[in-house]
Structure 1
Amino acid sequence: MMVDVCIIGSGAGGSPIAYELANAGFSVVVLEKGENFSESDFNKDEIAVTRRDMFTPPLNEQKHIINEYRADGTFTRYDGEESGWSFWNGSMVGGSSNLMSGYFHRLKPNDFQLKSVYGEIKGANVVDWPISYKDLEPYYDRVEKVVGVSGKIVQHKHLEPRSSADFPYPELQINGATKWFDLTCKDLGYEAIPTPRAILSQNALGRNACYYSNFCGSYGCASGAKGSGRAALLQKCKAKIITDAFVYRLQSNEKKVTRAYYYTKNGIRHSVQAKIFVVAAQAIETSRLLLNSKNEHFPNGLANSSGEVGKNLIFSAGGSGSGRFVFEKLTPQQQKELMEVGAFFNRSLQDWYEYKNEDKAYKGGTIDFLFEHQNIISRVMREVYDENGKLLWGEKLKEKLHKRLTTSRVLTFEVFNDWLPTDKCFVGVDEKTKDKYGVPVGVINLYGHPQDLEVGEYLAQKAVKVLERLGCEEIDYSISSAPPPNLVAGGCRFGNDAKTSVLDKNCKAHDLENLYVSDASFMPTGGSIPYTWTIYANSFRVADVIKEQLKKEKS
């Protein structure tokens, strides 16, 4: 099979490429390891979705090796299968964009020049991006309109420049308690902003509006309101999608990739030939594929003459916290508002996206506030003990559960700040440990820079202050260097110098004429927000570059 473009992976990094190029008349094949689900396949079965591996490979077939490093240089090795530690996010058409909560913040202009603005950071490999916010802004705008983002622009000191005055779709419905939050922040001198969401608040783009189940994170969307790569893009283009296709090797000569080899789940081998190849397999798997594709021209891994493939892996630093509203302290009207079912909380703070502490300038981050997830099992399991730590059962347990679930709500917050790239956080391969296909598995080396924790703690304290002023009780939070597996980037950073980066500014491999990487691997730093919107925007940008390359080749 010979096509114009072969895309490996169908998530936020691959779907815009397929959408743009297929709709421009080019022949496109997408190779996706997982299945193709539709809205009718998605439900809110907590057992199936979050307690079992419905959307991710079982670790006894496809595992990782994980090395967790400490500051003194020692590390603990974990076998993915034995430990249960999984970095799989969503193997299906549309990838993990099906399972996202859809919190869509843009990077700020200074995120593109972290080194220039804040200087060197000891122990961190911070560099500026080879593009600017101005280069990416038109594509952020395109994502708003094509993928669908709902929200409301509120002026605040860290608002990034925009070419559109507001989001194309109005805010999602919000819970009445949000009014108290806004007033509380105003009293504290903070600027509360509505959280943009890649969820349609009204029927549009051939998709149905949100029906407010509050089962967003980890769950597929049964209405199509969530802007997954599948619902928003792949279902609207004529790209050929081959599922059950695990790409294990890219074949190349010294100048071009010539063929992608893949296995079906039954171990049957196939291949695809293309003029251009785009890898968008998720940051860890993209590095693993390139490293496993070494040949006589690239003995250290495909596109790896710099030795940078897999290096400078990043996640999102920060953590989370929560507080419980005290029902008895609320007025009857407030009680009614608090217990409104389905409506979102949807508030964020970016007052400390940049801040000074003891005269030192820091890159800060974002705090998103949301109600606890609707997952009933996890909510109930927190209530099975009394105030003395003794297990409850019978009528006492029944009474406590009923009260907690009908006259109480927990407000949570999530902190997002930069995970600084370091030499100790990177992807390799383990030549001895193989997956079910006989392919060397990825080795994920983990290490968090101390400043990540310092900034996360600073932001968490601000969030706690809001919860305290709201009158919440049982306030708790955790900031740690544990990486969130669903927020991973880096490994193939882009840059202008082929000696220190894998990709050029257009995300084409320095070493090869027809290989692009369009998932989050390209990011040298991650900013202080979830990555998905930036992955989408950059992928639309790369699609324009590939489109022009193909036009030149045809002319």
Structure 2
Amino acid sequence: MSHDYDVCVVGSGAGGSPVALTLARAGYSVLVLERGPWWHTDDFYKDELACCLRDVYKPDRRDEPHIIELEDDDGGWLSQSTVNSRWNFWNGNCVGGASNFMSGFFHRLKPVDFHLLSEFGPIEGANMADWPISYEDLEPYYTRVETEVGVSGRVVSHPHAEPRSTPDFPYPPLQEHPVASLLDKAGRKLGYHPFPTSRAILSRPADGRNSCAYNGGYCGSTGCSTAAKGSARVALLDKAVKTGRCEVRPHALVKRIISDARGKITGVEYFDQAGKLKQVDARIYVVACQAIETAKLLLRSTGPKFPRGLANGSGLVGKNLLFAGGGAGSGRLLYSKFGREEARKLAQTGFFINRALQDFYVIDDPSFGPRQKGGTIDFVHVHPSPVLRAQRQLESNGRLNWGKPLKRILEEQFRDGVPLKIEAFCDWLPVDDCFVTLDGALKDKWGMPVARVRTGYHVRNLQVGWYLAAKGAQMLKAIGAEEVISFASGAPPTNLLAGTCRFGHDPDTSVLDPHCRANELDNLYVTDGSFMPTGGSVPYTWTIYANAFRVADHLVERLGGSRRENI
């Protein structure tokens, strides 16, 4: 039977683009359907209003809201639409997805992350599960990402480093802000092991991309105007398209994946930019929309054999949604504490701090409790957007700041020192009360049910988050920072999503098999962060990239191997 394409990929971000590139290079025809527009490098510039205060790169929440369920003080659940709230669970919706707007600091998972249940035992109230693969299975693909996406850094020996098959990163580290050396000295005095944070940002030109321009540190939430940042678009999809065997269709919103009475997928139905419904079919389908949207698509893709949603025989599609647990903190390093030349260097903008701590990736501290999983502490600049920073000073201690007091506060914030930030990452434990389902009443602009997202969390997230944030605060105080605070919150970070289609060995307790193929469908795969049964204590992007390359190699083998020599 002939098909329009060998592979149809729904979603063009970190989970979809490695599949598209690998299959196109191997000689197979690939179609990528992307719901958003196709912006190019020249379309991105440092617009602080667009990146920080407006939803320029995301769907209009009036057209496509989510319903968020938040726990109230009595243990019940309050529902609110994202139309009338500060919540927005849409990430970057354009070719390349949210990878266009990532900060780009990359950490690998560690071997312990693949078997938390076996290592630490069950946790009451958490749906823990070991991964069906090991760190050794994924390590070659972490290495591939370093080259394909472009990761800059410097490997240093420290007691908590994960094994590597290569001695160093393919690109040298980015230029560092003077705060980095202060953290190194302070960390060593405390007996810790701060190390350089690797970044998916080129430190020198390569593959037709320019190197970092160090223009203000706007990486997070902003597209890169030099193509240095390793977005799925510039690093992977552009190469896939150049093979001549990959077609990308922007403004293609997939309505459903169609299946027949035999349980076979017969096509994908999508709306084009004009709102016209179209259909395409392929030998293999790969879904990579991000955890909430992938679950939503599968749940609404009902069929004769899938009344509860595609691939949902286990009832687990949408369950065990993961965000990122952890804590945060901040402080200010006053220029007045330093000599004139030192203060001048500290005042420069653009260079990265690029320092992290993983001394507490596993917490073995009797005062805190039994040996347990901890996390990563990153030290970064506060986002440089003046409007965003100023807006945060409008209120303090529940009171509005205005007039001369507000002017003095702004003066302190912008003229007197370097504002620093702690970002601490720990596992967001999978729980029954964190999931995605379809709302029974509200529909979006196209008449499709919207996602209902419950955001429950495990108290362990908070406990570990407070612990890590306090350690980060200790470091800030050690370099002389003032006004240092640290805290943890149960509120989910909306830019870090995983879970909802966990993989495993047992079809009764998983949605996908170890190759990320749907247990009930021979030709459906999921390659965004949805596959993860636990999230680890680092941002997800590097692992999503690596796993998608792993699945892509499996697909090439399944389709008969590389055809390149025959083209």
Instruction: State the TM-score bracket (shorter-chain normalisation).
Output: over 0.9
Q: Partner residue of 2:307?
A: 299
- 1:520 aligned onto 2:522: no
Aligned length: 554
In 2, are the aligned partners of 1:339 and 1:407 still within 8 Å (CA)?
A: no
* Residue equivalent to 1:227: 230
Would you say the 8 A contact 2:259–2:304 is kept in 1? no
Q: Does 1:486 align with 2:495?
A: yes
> Corresponding residue for 1:216?
219
Pick aligned residue for 1:334 from 342, 358, 378: 342
> CA offsets per residue over residues 376-429 of structure 1, 9 Å max, x none?
1122234567999674447x7667645542341111110100000011111100
Aligned position for 2:370? 360
Which stretch shifts more, 221-230 or 255-264? 255-264
Measure, in 2, the Cα distance between the counterparts of 1:420 and 1:71.
21
User: Which residue is equivalent to 2:199?
Assistant: 197
Are 1:348 and 2:371 an aligned pair? no
- Which runs of structure 2 are paired with 1:81-230 in the superposition (5 Å)? 81-213=83-215, 214-230=217-233
- The aligned residue for residue 415 of structure 1 is 424
Give the conservation status (yes or no) of the 8 Å contact 1:177–1:334.
no
Name the aligned partner's letter for residue 418 of structure 2: R
Aligned to 1:409, the other structure's residue is in SS state strand
How far apart are the structure 1 equivalents of 2:17 and 2:495? 18
SS in 2 for 1:360: coil
The alignment partner of 1:548 has SS state of helix
Counterpart Cα distance in 2 of 1:406 and 1:39: 33
Shift of 1:262: 0.5
| Superposition pairs of residues 401-440 of structure 1, within 5 angstroms | 401-402=410-411, 404-440=413-449
Q: Tell me the amino acid that sits aligned with residue 278 of structure 1.
A: V
Alpha-carbon distance in structure 2 between the residues aligned to 1:31 and 1:93: 9
CA distance in 2, matches of 1:429, 1:219: 31
Give the AA of the match of 2:79: R
1:316-366, Cα deviation, whole Å (9 max, x unpaired): 001321000122111223212211221111100000000123350110000
Work out the CA distance in 1 between the residues paired with 2:312 and 2:562.
Answer: 26
Distance 1:160 1:12 in 2: 22
Is the 2:393–2:401 contact (alpha carbons within 8 Å) kept by the matching residues of 1? no
Q: How far does residue 157 in structure 1 lie from its aligned partner after superposition?
A: 1.3
2:52 and 2:388 in contact (8 A); partners too: no
Aligned to 2:390: 380
Quickly say closer, same or farther: Cα 1:386–1:313, change in 2 above 3 A. closer
Q: CA deviation at 1:248?
A: 1.4
> Structure 1 counterpart of 2:539, which letter?
P
Distance 2:469 2:62 in 1: 37
Change (3 A) 1:177 1:84: closer
Equivalent position of 1:3 in the other structure: 5
Provide the secondary structure at the position in 1 that maps to 2:269. strand
Give the CA RMSD over aligned residues.
1.9
Q: Which stretch of structure 1 is more off in the superposition, 334-343 or 518-527?
A: 334-343
Kept in 1, the 8 Å contact 2:413–2:419? The answer is no
| CA displacement 1:254-307 (0-9 Å, x = unmatched) | 343220001124421011100000000110000000000011111111011111
Contact 2:13–2:288 (CA<8 Å) still a contact in 1?
yes
Q: What residue number does 1:259 align with?
A: 267
- Percent identity of equivalent pairs: 50
Distance 1:71 1:419 in 2: 21
Residue 484 (structure 2) aligns with: 475
Which AA in structure 2 matches 1:67?
E
**CA 1:313–1:398: 2 relative to 1, 3 Å:** closer
1:69–1:424 CA contact under 8 A, matched in 2: no
Residue 184 of structure 2: SS of its match in structure 1? helix
Q: 1:466 to 1:266 in 2, by over 3 A?
A: same
Does the 8 Å contact 2:360/2:374 carry over to 1?
yes
For residues 70 and 499 of structure 1, the distance between their equivalents in structure 2, rounded to whole angstroms, comes to: 32
In structure 1, C-alpha distance between the alignment counterparts of 2:207 and 2:269, rounded to whole Å: 35
Q: Which moved more, 1:273-282 or 1:544-553?
A: 544-553
- Structure 2 partner of 1:40: 42
Equivalent-residue separation in structure 2 for 1:106 and 1:503 (angstroms): 22
Instruction: Indicate the larger mover: 74-83 or 532-541.
Output: 74-83
Q: Which residue of 1 aligns with 2:55?
A: 53
Over 3 Å counting, the alpha-carbon distance change for 1:331 and 1:524 in structure 2 is same
Unaligned runs of 5+ residues in structure 1 are none
Aligned CA distance change for structure 1 residues 83 and 163 (closer, same or farther; 3 Å): same
Instruction: Give the letter for the 2:372 counterpart.
Output: Y
Is residue 27–residue 562 contact of structure 2 (8 Å, CA) maintained in 1? no
Whether the 8 Å CA contact 1:19–1:237 is kept in 2: the answer is: yes
C-alpha displacement of 1:50 = 1.9
Instruction: Evaluate the alpha carbon distance shift between residue 389 and residue 72 of structure 1 in structure 2; reply closer, same or farther with a 3 A threshold.
Output: closer
Matched, 1:550 2:553: no
Residue of structure 2 in register with 1:506 after alignment: 515
Q: Please give the secondary structure, in 1, of the residue aligned with 2:436.
A: strand
CA-to-partner distance for each residue in 1:199-247, whole Å, 9 max, x for gaps?
Answer: 0011112210000021100000000000000010001112100011110
Q: Does the aligned pair in 1 maintain the 2:193–2:359 contact within 8 Å?
A: yes
Q: CA deviation at 1:467?
A: 1.2
Q: CA deviation at 1:431?
A: 2.7
Structure-2 separation of matches of 1:382 and 1:125: 37
- Determine if the alignment matches structure 1 residue 314 to structure 2 residue 314: no
Query: 1:217 corresponds to which letter in structure 2?
Result: G
Does structure 1 conserve the Cα–Cα contact (< 8 Å) formed by 2:26 and 2:561?
A: no
Tell me the amino acid that sits aligned with residue 118 of structure 2. Answer: S
Contact (CA 8 Å) 1:137, 1:163: kept in 2 or not? yes
Paired residue type of 2:559:
L
TM-score by length of 2: 0.94
Question: Could you list the runs of 4 or more consecutive aligned residues of structure 1 that deviate by over 6 angstroms after TM superposition?
Answer: 385-390, 552-555
Instruction: Name the CA distance, whole Å, in 2 between partners of 1:388 and 1:6.
Output: 51
Q: Which runs of 5+ in 2 are unaligned?
A: none
Equivalent residue letter for 1:233: L
Amino acid at match of 1:187: K
Q: Give distance in 2, aligned partners of 1:226 and 1:114.
A: 32
Alignment partner for residue 537 of structure 1, among 528, 542, 546?
546
1:248 and 2:255 matched: yes
